[in-house]
Structure 1
């Protein structure tokens, strides 16, 4: 490793939620995660979600209101799939859960881009994206002047 090289990488993402009982099935079904740990301290509750033993998402029930997109902070979370077929499989799960999408089906990240995916919100309004690096080039971009993931 180079002398000044940094080995940092994303560890896990912690999300505040208003109702852990509602958020747990959403995240475990949509992202096929396992509940590794659940806990409670008074009215505060949490859950650690893993895949293959690796911690990916932590949920913290400590918020009284849903996600506010008009404030600085988190913009959206993006999850990369291996293929567009996997993106469409996750889309089917989301539709089965009654989730509303920002755009109709798979859309590219920009006009003519090969990468693209689906854009939606979790039960608390947190903006989420599932994408693949290729396979979206045939679809029209829903936004001409900005990246698709910019303002959904």
Structure 2
């Protein structure tokens, strides 16, 4: 019996592909991802064997905004290399005028043993960066 190798990829439709690429290109590079594929309606970033794909939402579907409380995706969580990396990302995100979630509980919004940073991407998808112990 062969054992599954885990997650292959996740694909997310976005309202403004160029804005999404500008947001994720630097962030995912900091987290060990590299551009994997690029085409006129999308881009993907790979880390190991798994990759994350962003595609431009078709215009006829673009009127409905994303909301993590609806059925479907709630958030994406990524491993950081360290707590120091999370602190550095927090400074970079602040400089990019990104709004944080649960700011009053940083860095333990996920619990006393869970060092993490929470914020939203341009489509309001919640992003969590978690420090490895």
TM-score range, shorter chain: 0.7 to 0.9
Matches of 1:76 and 1:51, distance apart in 2: 18
Matched residue SS, 1:28 = helix
Matched residue SS, 1:69 = coil
Please tell me whether the aligned partners of residues 13 and 56 of structure 2 are also in contact (alpha carbons under 8 angstroms).
yes
Matched residue SS, 2:86 = helix
Q: Pick one of 27, 44, 47 that aligns with 1:48.
A: 44
Aligned Cα RMSD in Å? 2.1
* Structure index of larger Rg: 1
**CA deviation string 1:16-55 (max 9, x = no partner):** 1000110001111112143333223xxxx11122357x55
TM-score (norm 1): 0.71
Match of 2:38 in 1: 38
Q: Pick one of 1, 9, 12 that aligns with 1:12.
A: 9
Aligned runs of 1:107-146 on 2, under 5 Å?
107-110=108-111, 113-134=112-133
Q: Which consecutive aligned stretches of 4+ in structure 1 deviate over 6 angstroms post-superposition? A: none
Please tell me whether the aligned partners of residues 30 and 93 of structure 1 are also in contact (alpha carbons under 8 angstroms).
no
**Which of the pair has the greater relative contact order for Cα pairs under 8 Å at 6+ separation?**
2
How many correspondences in the alignment? 124
Q: Pick one of 53, 58, 70 that aligns with 2:53.
A: 58
TM-score (norm 2): 0.80
Gaps of 5+ in 2: none
Please tell me whether the aligned partners of residues 102 and 109 of structure 2 are also in contact (alpha carbons under 8 angstroms).
no
Matches of 1:97 and 1:70, distance apart in 2: 25
